[in-house]
Structures are given as structure tokens and as C-alpha cells.
Structure 1
Amino acid sequence: MAVTSRNRSAPPLITPEHDPHLWLEDVTGEDALSWVRARNARAEAELVDEEFIELESSIREILDASDRIPGVSRRGEHLYNYWTDAEHPQGLWRRTTLESYRTEAPEWDVLLDLDALSAADGVTWVWHGATVLRPAAEGEPWRHALISLSRGGSDADITREFDLVTREFVDPVDGGFSKPEGKGSMSWIDADTVYVATDQGEDAVTTSGYPRTARRWRRGTRLEEAEPVVSVEPDHMVAAAGHISTPGFERDVAVRVLGFYDSETLLIEGDELHRVEVPTDVRVSIHRDLFLFMPRTELTLLGQDFPGGSLVVADIEDFMSGEAELTPLFLPDASTSLQDVTATPSCLVLTVMEDVVHRVEAHVRISEGSSAWRREDIFTDVTGTLSVAAVDPRESEEVWITSEDHLSPSALHLGDLSGLLDGGRETHEVLKRAPERFDATGLTSVQRFATSDDGTRVPYFLIGSAELLAESSEAGPRPTVLYGYGGFEISMTPGYLAVIGKAWMESGGVYAVANIRGGGEYGPGWHRAALRENRPRAYEDFAAVARHLVTTGVTTVPQLACRGGSNGGLLTGNMLTQYPELFGAVVIQVPLLDMRRFADLLAGASWRAEYGDPETEDWEFMRSFSPYHLLQEGGSYPAVLLTTSTRDDRVHPGHARKMTAALESLGADVRYWENIEGGHGGAASPEQQARLNSVIHRFLQQQLR
């Protein structure tokens, strides 16, 4: 285990001009895959023992449990659900009624069996979702669906039309819509028309690898004949279009995504596009006759000022004519941020977070067309991390509420906001509760704060023995895993730790989650604080939490590991190379690590707004957080496990492969495991998920205990 910091004056092992491991970027090349298989075998020889097998079995039991809460979406009289279990690892798309769903054993009507489809096609199909078209007239059946399926879990997928009456895919020969495999989208306009964006053809994609053009495609015509609706420049991110089918408020909307945090919203009227005139960093949503504006930075609009992180509403027709009244429904403060907005016909439901604790408020419109609103705190007796979704935003005042925390399994509530409309109260009932998956006896979850290098107060959660985590505890240090992400304005909120509880905490381990800058815990300002040249603030925050865990007696350096994936893999890669003295072990999953080449690999160019553009002078600051280029001859590094997926077409597996090869050349204590399928999530089935999680937790057990 390393106990000395990186020598910042030593020359780097890898430079942009000298990269001996470029050949490992050949994702499916014979030599590269031979290298992968050899390292997989080496890692499994070290990790797969009796305890591993027991661990894998217990995790698989959790992932395959038949008493999980089936997540549902209502379309017409049915609740639709996608489901996996031991007998159906690729999954079933099925539906039931609300009446049946309320029972302990709902009667499910299976519409599509992905395991049978995979066997018939000779492809491991992974579910990417379905959209069901609302019938044009009352009484007509809900017939038309678009189903998206991915080969082995990649982001690239196919979309095919499915007939809910015949229970079959509609053959393109018979006029069925079918998007070829690739990155893109397809969505309904009406029964005979869709919006489609594909990556097929010359100059069809941006430098990020996403479609440049969204088109209107009519049934009975060839895809190549679909008429362009909106396009973006090659160096932008993606073009998209969609149809809003709310009766009486039907609209068609196009979006030019210029970069990860900048876009233009346009209303489609016939052959004309009318831009919504707001700055490109303002997120725009549409509900009935309203624009919802959510600025990322301070906004001046029609002579009024609003801070970043606000929610402002305006009448669409008035705004497009330049005469709108702007109504702020949420204004953030130093500890409070807006996390989500859900709409019912008469209410906007806001999920608000204060010091990483959720609450929910409803803003009730006094009358249709009115700019007057009434605010109500709702569901105050439902605690934990809350997720709220409209049951049917077109017609119903009902909402789904999911609640959970680190030690409490999720519960699904059905809420009704109709009582708010005449001055009464909302109601809710618990429909489902998930059972406990691990023994939480004697465990607790507490929130603490560390102080970063620049004095910033950084919250984090600790989950473990109540005796250990009590103030002035003398229980002694325990093996601890510190998890983090810190990017893309994504908040790390408490969620039930089913697998981690069983694999780690049940036997005495402590788990910590850091809410570092770069996330969205305190709104867009918390995110911007670690953007681009400020990225090191996220790493300083995480290191501060690691030190706090040691100085407060929770753990010791040899007993402390860090873990993160994707952008979190970049985080833990920087812990390995910049703060090796703080950790006994490091886990790096599906990571970004080579920041000199990231924008040239797969979807990397779309993240330049987050990290910078290495082809410009930005490289001068980016080199300071490019782990691949921070490795040094003579460096001392803690034990490290890197994992990725061959089928990950979002973050290139070459990042993890090359980092492993470089660490091996230094004689570092490194092991590597790559799933041949799985996409960016790292696994394409419960079996693969169990294997991946067992590899990670057995490594942690061996290193920290």
C-alpha cells in the first residue's frame, strides 16, 4: 500500500507524443481481446475463491428477487412494466391493471419476451425502453408502440414498431417503422408519422457521434425520403424533435443541442421553426400553455433578473410575442436547490433539496391561463430520497412517489393532488414496499461535513455501525469504501444499498458517499464550481472527505478504499495518481482516464463543456487531471482494480485498458476485469451484474481486511 504522495517534479510516464498502448483502443481487435482475456483470467484466478462464489450467489439472489417492486408507467387502462428475474435474465415487457397491481400477486400480460427474442435472433438484446402512442379517438385500442433494443447493452440500438393487438413487430415490408442500429431516436407524431434521427449516411453525425438531423418520416415511404426538420453543425452535439400530444395543447418542438449545457428550443409550425428567445444555457420545458425556464446561470429576461437554479414560468403565446408575464416559482439559496419538476394538469410538483435532504412542494395554478399560483408543502410524512412522477400529465392529478434511503428499501406511493385544487389537501397511499435485502441491525446513516482546501463545506454520508458512528465513539476503525461522482450536475442522494449492504456492510464494513462539487447537490453553481479549469476542486473535496474519515477515527489509510465509475472513474483515477497516500485500495469503473484523447473516442466530444477541449490551449489545465498522463516512473500506488465493458460505446474501454497496461509497466499492484458485453453500465444481465459486483467486493475484502 502506497504511503507517499506522487512526486510532482518527476517526468510523466506517458505523454501525448508517446503513447505505447494506443493499440489497446482497437476495441474488438484480436490482439487487444487476447490481452483482455489474459487479464480477466489473471484477475479471476486471484479473486474467485469460496468466498467469491458465496458472494456472487447472494448478490444474484438479490438481483433476481421476484418480490422487487415492479416499476410501472400508465398508458390508458394498463400499467406497463419491464421485468427481469432468474428465469428471464434479458427480461419481459408486460402489463397489468391498477386493480391487479394493488394485489400481492398481480396478473401480468406478457407482451414481449426478450429472452425468446434473443434466442431466435442469436443476439443478446438489452431493453432500452418503449413508447406507446395515445389513440387518436376515444375508444380506439392502444395499438402502436415503438420498442428500442440494444445489442449487448451498447448505447447504439434499434427501434422497431410493435403492434399491441397482434403482439408482433410490424414488418417494414408491411409499412412498419424501423430505425437501423445506431445512436439516434424515434418517437410518435401520430399513427402514420414519426420523428426520427439516425447516424446513417455521409456526414450524418456530429463529432460527438450523435445524429445531426431530425426528420419527419411518414408511413409507406423510405427512411431516406424522410424530410429534414432541424439540423445542427458538425461540431455541435445532436438534433432532436418531438410531438406533445396533450389534447388541446398539441405542439411540435425541435431542439438543437449545441453542447452538453447549451441548446436552442424551437417551436415547429408547418415548415417554419420559431426559436424560443432565451440564452442557450436555459433549460426549456413545455407543459400545456406554459414555458418552464430553468437557467443554469443568472438570467435577465424581459427586464427581470433570476438567479441560476430558478424555475420561472410564462405563457407560451405571450412569450413568443414578447409580452409575457414571468412568474418565478422557485428561487434557490445557499443550501437549497431544485432537483426535479413534475407536471399534472393543474399543478407543478417541485422536488427540492436542502443539504441533500429532499422535500416536495406543489404550485397550484389558480385557473387555466392565470399567472397566479399557490404554493403548498406536500407529502411531508414521506421521508428519504423522493422521486415524483406524474401518472398521466395530460389528464390526471395523480402522481407516483418513490421513497427510500440507505437502509430502508423503496416504497411506492400513489398520490392524488386533486384535493389541492379547492383548498384541501393531497392524499397518498402505499401501494408496494420492497423487502429488506440485508441485515441492517445496528447500522445507521449519518451526515457529516468535511472542509476542502479552499474552505468549502463538503457534505458526505456515512453508513455503518451505529456504535462506530456515534459521537466520541471508541469503537475503533473499520474497513471503509468512499464513493463519489462529482460531475454533470448529478446529485448523489441516499438510495437503498441492497447489494452493498449484503456484500460489504452486513459483515462490518462502512460505506461513505461524498457530495463533492461538480454534482448538483446545491444547484448549478455547485456544478460550475468544478467545471473545466476548476475540475481539481472536485478532487480536493473528495480528498478532504477521505482525510476526515481517518482523522475522525472511522477508518485508517490502509483500511480506506475509494470507488467510482464513468466520470467517477476519472475521480478515482485522480485519487490513484494525485492522492495515493490517502487510500489502501482504489476501484476505477468504466472510466475516463486519457484526457488528451477522450474527445476523439466515441461520445467523448460531447463532454468538452464539462472538461475542456484538449485540442486547444485547454490542454494546459486538463493535463493536471488526466490520470493517464500523471503516472510516473518510481511512483508508489495503492492496489487498484479497473473494470470496463467491451460493449461500452459511450466511454471507450481503451481508457481502462491503457491505464492498466501503463500501471503494469510500472510494476504496480493492478488487476483488470472487462465484461465482453454490458455497455456503459458494465453488465447486460443480472448474471453479469452479479459477477461484476462480486469482482469488486472480493477485491475490496481482500485488500482492506
Structure 2
Amino acid sequence: MSGVGVRGWWRAGAVALAAVMIAACGHEAAQDDPFQWLEELDSPRAKAWVAAENDKTLRVLEQDPRYADNLAAAKELGNAPDRIPMPRFANGAIENFWQGPDHPRGIWRTTSVADYESPQPNWSKLLDLDALAEAEQKNWVWKGVDCDPVTRKRCLVSLSEGGEDAVTLREFDVATKEFVTDGFVLPRSKQSVAWVDDNTVLVSREWQSGETTTSGYPFIVKQVRRGQPLTEAVEITRGDKSDGLGTQPLLLEDGKALRLNVVQRGPSFFERQFSLLTGSGTARLELPPKSDLAGLVGNHLLVSLRQDWTTEGATFRAGSLVSLNADEVIKNPQRLRATPIYLPGPTETLEGVLATRDRIVVTSLNDVRGRATVYTPQPDGSWSGAPVPLPDNATIDTVDADPQGSVAYLSVTSFLEPTTLWSLDTGTGRVQPVKTTPPRFDSSRYVVEQHKAASPDGTQVPYFIVHAADMKLDGTTPTILHAYGGFGLSQTPSYDGLLGRRWLERGGAFVVANIRGGGEFGPAWHEAALTTNRQRAFDDFAAVGKDLIARDITTPQRLGILGGSNGGLLMGVELTQHPELWNAVGIQVPLLDMMRYEQIAAGASWVGEYGTVADPAQRAFLESISPYRQLRSGVPYPEPFIWTSTKDDRVGPQHARKFAARLAELGTPYLFYEADQGGHGSGTNIDEKARTSALEYTYFMRRLM
């Protein structure tokens, strides 16, 4: 048996053993899990339970006298015609997807750059999603568009039924404004696509039943030619069924003539293997596992690093952005010579990258405050950086850039300053505001402060708080504390008219905590709270809550907490570990049964974040923190509000259902709501999202005000 064969045999055996262990743990868990039947997504019994729970909750919250005003404000602000239509560059023009009272599902539209930057753009309609849904009797939800790199007139439109991650892709002609007769059509699946040329695409999808990873993602990439049945697609490469995330094709363009097709395989959620498509097959790029391709500019391939990397005698720290010479990469993908672009300091982290024709724009955080820098390649191969003069003490996000020109758009926001869209000419350095959200409340009455709380291990955890300038330090301020704390995602202040109008104006305060597990201080901040170290994130959050109380800003009776998805897990843990600290707990689209999360929806893809029950030590930790498993009789838990969506095919509504059922079994008060649409979010349109927001604000007002 060859060495490769031995390694392949060992890996297959290990994967099989792990699968058996997970299945065994799941069977064991089922023995003491009386609510596992609620994992049956659409069974009549489960649907009847959801309907009864929804009815009970809505009779409480919708009949509260504050609900009507909360709903009216949420609808008014959500549908406001003076919202910023966020731009997307498309072949020298601007495109936008817009939802409003006349188009609740949305309209895809276009205009020129000059017209877009005028006060009242004259939009031209490309596709009316409401009309399409009505004609086809489908609950279509917009999931984006990807246009061919040659003519830039043929685009693949992604449509979801009810907001789920699985999509149908259909080819659309922006010149005729119609779907292409006999064009590319990819039926519903979790799938991704990348153009090769105007007649060829690379597709990753579930080609045959069961051809997905254990987490439900496709791992086989095939080439599809125009007019070719999917059954005749030619396989290009494949990952492995045991992969955590799946395999997908990518197209990188430099805005001139260079195009690179790459396949990205995800052995785990945080690891990548990149292969370059060549005339004779694929060639592996010897990049570190924890890295991402960030773009292509003027023959420079951009790579962001989430781990230290030594290559060709040079070492780059995790969190850096580097470039590779594309010609050298194509010639020899195994020997990669990297040049530094952005090198973070101890309190800095890379956030976003935009590529214009000749330059790049990098957004970053310094002590959780936004920065932007334009980087220009120099004749000697190095890069020079020029800071962009934007408002300080704000959140700066990338929006889009013209890959064939010099303009990039950035958004700037904070708790008290309405979101502003800035236009940046990367060639001249000229930067100017283009569009601004009108003020939704009188921000002059409030202040924003940044404090730090000491976690039990001594780590200083920063947090932002917005509150009335004349707030009394007597513990009477109703306060909502929010955090996420996972997957390396940063949480920063942003402008929210509904928060200002329905919470701040009623005397409340709002807090964003930058706990470990997030990305606010780079990859190390994230990795400090992985798997069995995750208690650090939970401790960080509790430390912020205690600090708010110690400062006499609030008291447990006036303190509520809020988080979704991974943040929903955080809320469930805080409910079970510190029920005495909070009087309101908002749990959004959560993970809560950590003993079975790998077997629900896409849960198996997150083993790198949470760990697996197949590992004894990790299993013991998961059981010790799993909110569903840690609920106990006789404990005076605060009444939580748990909401989810039937169409959530990412986390799944099963967690929220079982948690609520367990609370009912214990006789503990709770509120549960499951929307029948929305995917992994609060709704598919503005009015659906407004309803969820109104329910949530009504809940917090009932508990804290």
C-alpha cells in the first residue's frame, strides 16, 4: 500500500469512527430528550405546537398598548423613501435592489454613476420581483446577482423560496430585461457559481441526492456549457463528504484583462484549500489553511491571513494583508513570494478590502474605531498607504468599488450620526459625502462612551454605551446589552432610528460589548474563545453586565440582553449561568442544544468554532454550557423572548422550539415566536422585519420599563 493510500485509508477510517461516535452520542441524547420530535421541521405535530405557541405569544405582545406604536415606527422607518439606496457597480453603471411599500419583495434597478449621486436618481427597472412572484406563484426572495465577465450583460439571478439559503439560479439579460430563453437554469439547491466566460460557468451543487457534506454543503465542482444539460456537466474537482464547509468556485478579475478561476475547498469552517484552474486541470496554491483571497488588482493577488505565515524566507503575522504576483502564481503555485500591504498593530484588525482598477481600499479597526486607507502598488513591488480623512470615532464599512475605474464607496455610521455614504476617488484622494440618512431622532440629547470591564482572567473587555447626557447614576436606566462573540466577527456602533425613537427617547440605554470570540482585535481575539475555551466569551459578557451595574447605570431588574445566531447561544448561556443578572433575555434564531447541533441544519460546519461531541473533552464542555441541557427546575429564570424562522436552513428553528418546550415543562414563563418565512433572519421584506422588531421592543419595554 502506497503512502498516499495509507493516509487516505487512515482518514477514511477516522471519519467513519467520528460519524459513528456522533451518531451514538445523538442516540444517547435521544434517550433523555423528550422534545426531539420538535426537530421534525414540518411534521403535523410540530407545526401544531408552533401555531399554539405563536398564538399565545402574539396575544401577549400584540395586545400590549405599546405594540401598535412600535410597529408603526418600525414600518415608517423601514419604508422611508429617503433611505440610502446602497450602490453596486456593474459595468460602469450603478445597480441597486430596493424594497418599499410599492415593491415589498423588491425591485432590481439601474442608473448611471452621475445620476446615482444626484439628489433624486432616475432609476430604470431591470426586474420586478413582486410581479415575478405573482406570475409564478412563488414566494421569491432576492439573494443577489452575478454577471458574466465578458459582455457583462448576462447575469445569474439567485432566488430563494422564503429566505432559505438554498437558491434557484436563472440567467437574466440586462439589455432585454428578460430571463434568457434556454439560458442557464440551476434548480433549487445550496449552490455557488462562478463564470469562466460568457458561455461557461463552474457550479458547485448537490448533483445527485446525498452529494453534500455532513453539514449540507456541496463539495463537487463541475463545468457547465451553455445549452448543456446538467447531467452532462464535466467534473472539475471535488472536496470530501467529511469537509466542514464544502467546495465552491471563485472568479477573480483585475478590472483589466486578467481573470483567474479558483476553487476553494473548506475542510473546516476556518480552513481553506485553494486550487488554480489551468488548461490541464487544477494546481494547488500553497497558501496557509487560515487565509482568504481578498481580490485581484493590476496583477496583484490579494491574500488576507488569519494565521502566521512564513514563505520564501519572510514571515507575516496573523491579521495581515499581503499580495502575490499573479504571473508568479500561475507559473509556480507552490512557491509563493508575498509582499506586505497592511500589517496590524496590537489594537488593530483588518475589516474589509475593496479593489479598484489600480488600487485597493482597506478598512480596519483601531481600538474598535474605524479607519480607511488607500494602498497603491509601487514600481519596486511594495505598497504605499494613504489614510482616508473620514470622521473619527465611527464605524467605517466597505460598500463597493468600480473594478474598471477609480471610485470606491464607503459607509460611515455611529450611534448618533446618521449613516453617510462617501465617494472616494482612489486616484486623486478626493473624498466627499454622497448621500446621508436624514436624522430620525434628536441625537443632541445623548452621548456615547467607551468603557472596559475586567473579565475573571484579567482581560480588559471594551464596550460602547449610548445613553441620555443627563442620565442619573442611580441604577434606574433600562439598558439592553448586545454582543455576538463568535466566528471572528466584529461588533461596532451603528445608527438605528428605531433604537433612538423607541428606546433612547423613552429613557433607555444601549450597549455593544466587544467580547472575545469576535474579531475586534484580530484573529487572536477570536481564537481565544474557540471550543473548550468558549467560557471566556461568556465570562466577558457577564463582566460587562456586572460593570454596568457597578457603575450604577442600571440594576439587574432594569438590565436586558439581546443576541442572535451565535449570539443567541450566548444569550441562552447567560440565561442559565447568570439568571440573577438580567430581567429580559432576547434570543434570536439561536443555537441552544449543543449536544445535537451537529445534526441540525448546517451545524456540522461549525465544529471548528464549537467543538464536537465525538471528542470526549469537547463533548463534556458542550454539555456543561448547552442552554437546553442546563435548564434546571426551581431556578427563577427571567422570562425570555425566543424567536426563530421555519425557513432557517442554516441554524434551524429546532433549537428554539426545544428550548421553549423545556421551559414549559419546568413551568418557567417564556415567550416564543416562529415566523414561517425569513430564513436566518427576521423577515423577507420590510414589513415582516418591522413586525419582529415591534415584538422585540414591546417585550423589552414590558420587562425593563
TM range (shorter): over 0.9
Worse overlay, 533-542 or 410-419 = 410-419
The structure 2 residue matched to 1:331, chosen from 343, 346, 353, is: 343
1:448 matches 2:455: no
* Structure 2 residue aligned with 1:153: 163
Q: Note the C-alpha offset of 1:286.
A: 4.3
CA distance, structure 1, for counterparts of residue 393 and residue 435 of structure 2: 16
Task: Give the 5 Å matches for 1:304-343.
Answer: 304-319=314-329, 321=332, 325-343=337-355
Contact 1:118–1:125 (8 Å) recurs in 2: yes
d(CA) in 2 for partners of 1:245, 1:358:
27
d(CA) in 2 for partners of 1:189, 1:205: 23
Aligned in 2, Cα 1:338/1:643: closer, same or farther, shift over 3 Å?
Answer: same
Q: CA deviation at 1:245?
A: 4.0
User: Which residue number corresponds to residue 671 of structure 1?
Assistant: 671
* 1:449-477 Cα distance to aligned partner (Å, 9 max, x none): 10101000001110111122xxxx54652
Deviation, structure 1 residue 418: 1.0
Give the aligned residue type for 2:232: E
* Per-residue Cα deviation, 1:291-346 (whole angstroms, up to 9, x for no partner): 33322222222222222112222223335536654322222232111112222233
Q: Shift in Å at residue 215 of structure 1?
A: 1.3
| Cα shift at 1:390 | 4.7
What is the CA distance between 1:55 and its match in structure 2?
1.1
Whether the aligned pair in 1 keeps the contact of 2:340 and 2:383 (CA below 8 Å) is no
In 1, the alpha carbon distance for the partners of 2:198 and 2:74 equals 43
Residue of structure 1 equivalent to 2:463: 460
Identify the residue that residue 23 of structure 1 maps to in structure 2: 37
* Corresponding residue number in structure 1 for 2:180: 170
Q: How does 1:495-574 map to 2 (within 5 A)?
A: 495-574=494-573
Output the amino acid matched with 1:464. H
**Paired residue secondary structure (1:360):** strand
| In 1: Cα distance, 2:210 partner to 2:49 partner | 34
d(CA) in 2 for partners of 1:143, 1:343: 21
How well do the aligned residues superpose, as a CA RMSD in angstroms?
1.7
Q: Which position in structure 1 is the counterpart of 2:257?
A: 248
Q: 2:119 aligns with which of 104, 114, 119?
A: 104
Alpha-carbon distance change, 261 to 349 in structure 1, aligned in 2, over 3 angstroms: same
The DSSP-based 3-state class of the residue aligned with 1:502 is helix
Partners of 2:356 and 2:677 lie apart in 1 by 39
TM-score normalised according to structure 2 size: 0.92
Opposite residue 683 of structure 2, the aligned amino acid is A
1:179 matched to 2:176: no
Higher relative contact order at CA 8 Å, sep ≥6: structure 1 or structure 2? Answer: 1
Aligned to 2:11: none
Q: 1:405 aligns with which of 410, 414, 422?
A: 414
Q: State how far apart, in whole Å, the 2-side matches of 1:46 and 1:165 are.
A: 51
The runs of 5 or more residues in structure 1 that have no matched partner are 1-13, 137-141, 420-425
Contact in 2 for aligned 1:15/1:629 (Cα 8 Å): no
CA deviations 1:62-99 (Å, max 9, x no partner) are 11111101011121242110000112110000111122
Pair 1:361–1:166, CA change in 2 (3 A) = closer
**1:273 Cα deviation (Å)?**
1.0
Any idea what SS the aligned residue of 1:38 has? Answer: helix
Cα 1:574–1:16 shift into 2, 3 Å: farther
Contact 1:648-1:682 within 8 A present in 2 as well = no
> Which letter maps to 1:563?
L
The 1:474–1:20 alpha-carbon spacing in structure 2 relative to 1, beyond 3 Å, is: closer
Structure 2 CA distance for aligned equivalents of residues 390 and 505 of structure 1: 32
The answer on whether the counterparts of 1:74 and 1:80 sit within 8 Å (CA) in structure 2 is yes
- 2:74 is matched with 59
> What residue in structure 1 maps to residue 313 of structure 2?
303
Distance in 1 (CA, whole Å) between partners of 2:390 and 2:36 is 55
Q: Does 1:613 align with 2:616?
A: no
Question: How far did 1:635 drift?
Answer: 2.1
Quote the residue 1:418 is aligned against: 427
Whole-Å separation in 1 of the counterparts to 2:546 and 2:475: 16
Alignment-derived partner of residue 422 in structure 1: none
1:282/1:294 contact within 8 Å kept = yes
Contact 2:272 2:290 in 1 (8 A): yes
Take 2:542 and 2:474, find their aligned partners in 1: how far apart are those partners?
24
Q: 1:546 to 1:24 in 2, by over 3 A?
A: same
Alpha-carbon spacing, 1:498–1:271, altered in 2? closer, same or farther (3 Å): farther
Deviation of the 1:593 alpha carbon = 0.3
Deviation by residue 1:16-65 (Cα, 9 ceiling, x = unmatched):
63000011111111111111111111111111133201210111011111
Q: Give the SS at the match of 1:187.
A: strand
The residue aligned with 1:74 is 89
Residues 492 and 381 of structure 1, relative CA distance in 2, 3 Å threshold: closer
Secondary structure class of the residue paired with 2:66: helix
Residue 615 of structure 1 and its aligned partner are, at CA, apart by 2.6
The aligned runs of 1:188-267 (5 Å cut-off) are 188-236=195-243, 237-246=245-254, 247-267=256-276
Task: Write the distance in 2 (CA, Å) between the matches of 1:100 and 1:453.
Answer: 55
Distance 1:134 1:308, change over 3 A: closer
Q: Percent identity?
A: 37
Tell me the secondary structure at the aligned position of residue 580 of structure 1: coil
CA distance in structure 1 between the partners assigned to 2:169 and 2:288 by the alignment: 33
- Determine if contact 2:424/2:432 at 8 Å carries over to the other structure: yes
In the aligned structure 2, how far is the partner of 1:199 from the partner of 1:498? 42
- Structure 1 residues 128 and 624: alpha-carbon distance in aligned structure 2, compared to 1, 3 A threshold: same
Q: 1:514 Cα deviation (Å)?
A: 0.6
Tell me how many residue pairs correspond in the alignment: 671
1:392 is the counterpart of 2:402: yes
CA contact (8 A) 1:357 1:384 kept: yes
- Which stretch shows the higher mean deviation, 238-247 or 401-410? 238-247
CA contact under 8 A between 1:230 and 1:240: conserved in structure 2? no
Quick one: distance in 1 between partners of 2:475 and 2:294?
51
Provide the C-alpha distance between the structure 1 equivalents of 2:62 and 2:336, rounded to a whole number of angstroms: 64
Inter-partner Cα distance in structure 2 for 1:325 and 1:476: 57
Following superposition, the deviation at residue 389 of structure 1 comes to: 4.4
- Structure 1 length as normaliser, TM-score? 0.92
Provide the residue aligned with 1:6 in structure 2: none
Corresponding position of 1:625: 625
Q: 1:511-549, CA deviations, whole angstroms, 9 ceiling, x for partnerless residues?
A: 111100000000000000000011110000000000011
**For structure 1, which segment, 259-268 or 273-282, has the greater mean C-alpha deviation from structure 2 after superposition?**
273-282
CA contact (8 A) 2:86 2:399 kept: no
**Poorly superposed stretches of 4+, deviation over 6 Å:** none
CA distance in 1, matches of 2:698, 2:56: 14
Distance 1:133 1:499 in 2: 39
Structure 2 residue aligned with 1:576? 575
Deviations 1:107-149 (A, max 9, x none): 111111111111112222111011222444xxxxx42111111
Number of the residue aligned with 2:101? 86
AA aligned opposite 1:640: P
Q: Deviations over 1:631-663 (max 9, x none)?
A: 112222111110000111111101000000000
Task: Give the conservation status (yes or no) of the 8 Å contact 1:356–1:521.
Answer: yes
Tell me if the contact between 2:193 and 2:249 (Cα under 8 Å) persists in the aligned partners: no
Structure 2 partner of 1:7: none
Alignment partners' CA distance in 2, 1:83 and 1:388: 19
Gaps of 5+ in 2: 1-27
Q: What is the rounded CA distance, in whole Å, between the counterparts of 2:526 and 2:194 in structure 1?
A: 31
For residue 383 of structure 1, report the CA deviation from its aligned partner: 5.8
